């Protein structure tokens, strides 16, 4: 995949995967991924000033440095076949906790026979294995995770321990707490690539709720490039919010993500949190528009938070970029929708010059966010008139995790709508056309799918 930027890009890191409370498999063409979730067979913590006390039946796990408290977990992995492509240790902070600046530093352990009801500070097992990662700042009643793929290679018994250098303790639910028990999510799959590239994503994503965790879970089972249609994190796009909300969920797909910014990302001056988090993947800092190719498709990520007027730097760049593309099919995405039926945010007519440029160069699909709904429009020209010959099919895809909006007056050519389901929008990009599919999160049933041809 070649990025077309005003300056060279840099190499990107690796990506990991995760699933939530139940095993989920989401189709992705010939490639497949299967995830199985395990809960602990044992978990406890120890405390330095109560050196002979056992906490194995407690409903909380704690890491702290004042007093020193260390947590331990043990999982038995069974029934897993195929190559382990990801293993994620997930813990949920307890409700009512004020949070902590440090969620703990985790290590593997060689001892896999320690006793849940017999372990104390005085006889605790050693944290003698490889370092696995750390959880940063945590809030109350939220899921956090650590990538433990380096340790979990298949069926077997695995122990993990955690410490903290902070005097502000982090408190997690234990296996005694039921549905909020810790999880070890093991994903396996094949590496057979799809014949046609996949582009999948959504906007209006990460906050202190759980919707973004559910949509991130969908991505775990869908291969391909991830896009975002802005408002990647709430409320203000700060570096701390990216760390606390986006990173634990969608962050595990960061290396394959090609984002666009939203107005909430720009609540921080210059969207510095957004550009700092995504780096070169977000295009030149402060500019935020760029393009890349996927198979026979040219894909353009644009920035609806800066000038889009005819003759502006962005509009002129877009026209030059489209003119230089040798691909027969084009898809673009940005945050503010030109067409929408939502009652919350009116159509953003300032984006029309971008749509006009795409129309002039026979582009095929455009995707937006901003309104926290799903909506699909028939192919239209820049004035909103139905245009089967040259019109762009447009989607509002703002169902990434932020609370839902409602619909008002339904606009002409609106063909499908939903304001209750979270999910992602998946495109399979064929050589001369595309398939689209709304993929709902587990437990929700709304669906929308279809196919289109390139102009």
DSSP 8-35: -------------SS-----BTBB-EEE
* Separation of alpha carbons 157 and 217, rounded Å: 24
Torsions phi, psi of 70, nearest 5?
-125, 140
**Cβ-count burial 277-301 (b if 16+ within 10 Å, e if not):** bbebbbbeeebbbbbbbbbbbbbbb
Return the CATH fold of 3-21+25-29+192-453. Answer: Purple Acid Phosphatase; chain A, domain 2 (3.60.21)
- Measured N-to-C along each axis, helices 352-360 and 313-324 cross at an angle, to the nearest 10 degrees, of 20
Q: What is the pLDDT of residues 380-411, one digit of tens each?
A: 999 999 999 999 999 999 999 999 999 999 99
Neighbours of 32 (CB within 10 A): 17
Q: Is the peptide bond before 168 cis (omega within 30 degrees of 0)?
A: no
Burial class from Cβ neighbours inside 10 Å (0-12, 13-18, 19+) for residue 452 reads middle
Band of the pLDDT at 64, cuts 50, 70, 90? very high
- Write down the H helix ranges in 256-347: 272-278, 313-324
* Separation of alpha carbons 203 and 233, rounded Å: 9
pLDDT, position 5: 43
Rounded to two decimals, what is the model's pTM?
0.61
pLDDT, position 95: 85
- Kindly tell me if the per-residue pLDDT of 23 is higher than 80: no
pLDDT, position 11: 28
* Separation of alpha carbons 155 and 373, rounded Å: 41
Q: Tell me the Ramachandran region of residue 348: left when phi exceeds 0, alpha when psi lies from -120 to 50, beta otherwise.
A: beta
Strands (E), 296-404: 297-301, 329-333, 365-368, 374-380, 392-397
Mean pLDDT of 14-31: 29
* Domain limits, the chain: 3-21+25-29+192-453, 33-189
Q: What is the pLDDT of residues 156-171, one digit of tens each?
A: 999 999 999 999 999 9
Q: What is the pLDDT of residues 77-100, one digit of tens each?
A: 998 888 888 898 999 999 877 788
- Kindly tell me if the per-residue pLDDT of 6 is higher than 50: no
Mean pLDDT of the chain: 89
Torsions phi, psi of 235, nearest 5?
-95, -20
Residue 333 corresponds to which tokens in the numbers above? 């995405």
Q: Which of the pair, 181 or 4, is modelled with greater confidence?
A: 181
Torsions phi, psi of 256, nearest 5?
-110, 15
pLDDT, position 34: 54
Note the Cα 284 to chain centre separation in Å. Answer: 22
Instruction: Match domain 33-189 to its CATH number in 2.60.40.1180, 3.20.20.70, 2.60.120.1200, 3.20.20.140.
Output: 2.60.120.1200
3-state helix, strand, coil in the chain (%, to 5): 15, 35, 50
The neighbouring-strand residues paired with 160 are 73, 108
């Amino acid at each position: 995949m070649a990025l077309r930027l005003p300056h060279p890009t840099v190499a990107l890191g690796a990506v990991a995967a995760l699933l939530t409370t139940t095993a989920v498999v989401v189709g992705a063409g010939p490639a497949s991924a299967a995830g199985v979730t395990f809960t602990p067979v044992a978990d406890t913590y120890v405390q330095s000033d109560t050196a002979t006390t056992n906490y194995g039946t407690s409903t909380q796990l704690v890491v702290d440095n004042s007093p020193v408290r260390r947590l331990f977990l043990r999982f038995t992995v069974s029934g897993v076949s195929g190559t382990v492509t990801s293993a994620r240790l997930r813990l949920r902070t307890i409700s009512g906790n004020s949070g902590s600046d440090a969620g703990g530093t985790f290590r593997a352990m060689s001892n896999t026979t320690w006793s849940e009801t017999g372990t104390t500070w005085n006889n605790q097992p050693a944290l003698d294995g490889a370092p696995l990662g750390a959880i940063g700042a945590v809030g109350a009643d939220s899921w956090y995770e650590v990538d433990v793929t380096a340790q979990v290679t298949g069926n077997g018994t695995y122990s993990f321990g955690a410490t903290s250098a902070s005097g502000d303790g982090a408190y997690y639910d234990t296996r005694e707490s039921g549905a909020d028990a810790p999880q070890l999510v093991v994903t396996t799959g094949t590496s057979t690539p799809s014949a046609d590239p996949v582009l999948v994503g959504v906007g209006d994503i990460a906050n202190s709720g759980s919707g973004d965790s559910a949509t991130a879970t969908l991505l775990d089972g869908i291969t391909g490039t991830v896009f975002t249609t802005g408002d990647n994190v709430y409320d203000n796009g700060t570096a701390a919010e990216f760390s606390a909300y986006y990173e634990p969920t969608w962050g595990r797909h960061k290396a394959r993500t090609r984002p666009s910014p939203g107005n909430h990302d720009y609540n921080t001056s210059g969207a510095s949190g957004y550009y700092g988090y995504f780096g070169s993947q977000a295009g030149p800092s402060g500019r935020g528009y760029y393009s890349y190719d996927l198979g026979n498709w040219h894909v353009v990520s644009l920035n609806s938070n800066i000038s889009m007027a005819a003759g502006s730097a962005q509009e002129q760049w877009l026209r030059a970029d489209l003119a230089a593309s040798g691909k027969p099919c084009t898809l673009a995405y940005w945050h503010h929708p030109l067409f929408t039926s939502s009652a919350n945010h009116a159509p953003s007519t300032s984006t029309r010059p971008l749509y006009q440029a795409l129309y002039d160069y026979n582009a095929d699909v455009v995707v937006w966010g901003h309104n926290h709904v799903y909506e699909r429009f028939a192919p239209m020209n820049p004035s909103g008139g139905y245009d089967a010959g040259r019109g762009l099919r447009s989607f509002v895809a703002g169902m990434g995790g932020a609370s839902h909006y409602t619909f008002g007056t339904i606009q002409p050519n609106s063909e499908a709508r939903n304001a209750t389901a979270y999910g992602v929008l998946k495109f399979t990009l064929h050589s001369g056309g595309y398939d689209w599919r709304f993929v709902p999160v587990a437990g929700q049933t709304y669906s929308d799918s279809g196919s289109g041809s390139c102009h």
